[in-house]
């Protein structure tokens, strides 16, 4: 009854070529990883050697100046901070609200999946397009001008799809048997959402939101479209003030390096500051994820 298809001799003969192939592929994947790492390392080393000696209290605290030795980035830091003041509440409220509606309330059907698909698509739209949207809508139509509110709302729109998708995934990951237990005791939908689903999904939602935030902090293209200057303007004090932001500062110093060579070093120093900020944000995201990671 049992025919033997596995010829031991043949199998043995093919074995060594299979093992060799296996090693080859592993090497290829390793090389790809290595390539990325090397490029990244070169970039970081270059920036750090160029910029690190320019970072000191004065550089961090001073106003902007055309004199490279006196120039500081406090204005840009404050501008970026104020942008976050706008971006965080807008993305959290609208983003999480949308995710809750789509994931927990909307009838699962064609319309719901159409909306969900398009939100994912929006996450892939080039950021400069959001810049154009912001320029048309906030700067011109609503006549905000190129102030923090306009910049913040533009960046909020830009990262909203990311927040929505991350929040949807976090909500979806909450096991259904938890909400069943809640409904089973006579809880309403809102009580179940508020007391069971949201707390369980919160770490995932926050992680997504912070990663989206770090994306917003580094964005330059939409801000250039809005016409954000890097001029000698006073420190911003509210959301209706004009402002500059860290990536804008980097951008202008880099293109002006052809006029004043030292600007290139200032740009490198600013990049370090921005990188440290991003690194901090990502660490917080990882901390939250590890601390609240639930075993269901």
Partner 1 sequence: MSTVMTKAINLKLVRNENERSEPEVQKEVVYDTKGLNLWYGETHALKNINMDIKEKEVTAIIGPSGCGKSTYLKTLNRMVELVPIVKTSGQITYKGKNILDKSFRVEDLRTQVGMVFQKANPFPKSIYENIAYGPKIHGIKNKKILDEIVENSLRGAFIWDELKDRLNDNAYGLSGGQQQRLCIARCLAVEPNVILMDEPTSALDPKSTLRIEELVQELKKDYAIVIVTHNMQQAARISDKTAFFLNGEIIEYDKTDHIFNNPADERTGDYISGRFG
CB of 192 to partner 1, least distance (A): 9
Nearer of residues 14 and 107 to partner 1, judged by Cβ = 107
CB of 117 to partner 1, least distance (A): 20
Cβ pair 160, 91 in contact under 8 A: yes
Cβ pair 255, 163 in contact under 8 A: no
Nearer of residues 6 and 185 to partner 1, judged by Cβ = 185
Nearer of residues 193 and 223 to partner 1, judged by Cβ = 193
Nearer of residues 207 and 249 to partner 1, judged by Cβ = 207
CB of 181 to partner 1, least distance (A): 5
Give the separation between CA 79 and CA 233, rounded to whole angstroms.
11
Contacts to partner 1 by CB under 8 A = 107-108, 175-178, 180-188, 191, 195-196, 199-200, 294-296
Cβ pair 94, 157 in contact under 8 A: no
Give the separation between CA 147 and CA 210, rounded to whole angstroms.
23
* Residue 235 dihedral angles phi and psi, to the nearest 5°: -55, 135
CB of 172 to partner 1, least distance (A): 15
Instruction: Determine what percent of the chain falls in helix, strand and coil, rounding each to the nearest 5.
Output: 75, 0, 25
CB of 36 to partner 1, least distance (A): 37
End-to-end CA distance of the chain: 48
Nearer of residues 32 and 191 to partner 1, judged by Cβ = 191
Nearest to 54 by CA among 41, 40, 72: 72
Nearer of residues 158 and 200 to partner 1, judged by Cβ = 200
Give the separation between CA 269 and CA 51, rounded to whole angstroms.
4
CB of 147 to partner 1, least distance (A): 43
55-to-48, 59, 238, 278 alpha-carbon distances in Å: 10, 6, 27, 17
CB of 193 to partner 1, least distance (A): 12
Nearer of residues 73 and 200 to partner 1, judged by Cβ = 200
User: Cα 198 vs. chain centroid, distance in angstroms?
Assistant: 22
């Amino acid at each position: 009854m049992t025919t033997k298809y596995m010829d031991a001799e043949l199998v043995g003969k093919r074995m060594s070529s299979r093992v060799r192939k296996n090693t080859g592929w592993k090497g290829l994947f390793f090389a790809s990883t290595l390539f990325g790492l090397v490029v990244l390392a070169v970039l970081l080393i270059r920036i750090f050697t160029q910029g690190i000696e320019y970072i000191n209290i004065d550089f961090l605290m001073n106003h902007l100046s055309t004199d490279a030795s006196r120039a500081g980035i406090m204005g840009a830091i404050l501008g970026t901070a104020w942008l976050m003041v706008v971006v965080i509440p807008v993305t959290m409220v609208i983003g999480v609200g949308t995710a809750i509606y789509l994931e927990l309330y909307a009838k699962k059907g064609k319309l719901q999946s159409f909306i969900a698909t398009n939100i994912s698509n929006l996450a892939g739209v080039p950021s400069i397009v959001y810049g154009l949207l912001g320029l048309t809508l906030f700067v011109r139509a609503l006549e905000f001008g190129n102030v923090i509110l306009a910049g913040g709302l533009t960046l909020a729109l830009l990262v909203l799809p990311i927040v929505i998708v991350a929040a949807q995934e976090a909500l979806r990951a909450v096991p259904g048997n938890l909400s069943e237990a809640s409904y089973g005791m006579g809880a309403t939908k809102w009580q179940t959402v508020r007391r069971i689903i949201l707390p369980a999904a919160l770490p995932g939602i926050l992680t997504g939101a912070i990663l989206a935030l770090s994306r917003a902090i580094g964005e330059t293209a939409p801000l250039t479209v809005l016409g954000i200057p890097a001029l000698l303007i006073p420190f911003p004090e509210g959301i209706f003030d004009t402002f500059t932001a860290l990536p804008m500062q980097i951008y202008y110093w880099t293109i002006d390096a052809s006029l004043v060579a030292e600007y290139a070093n200032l740009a490198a120093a600013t990049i370090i500051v921005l990188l440290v900020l991003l690194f901090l944000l990502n660490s917080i995201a990882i901390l939250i994820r590890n601390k609240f990671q639930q075993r269901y």
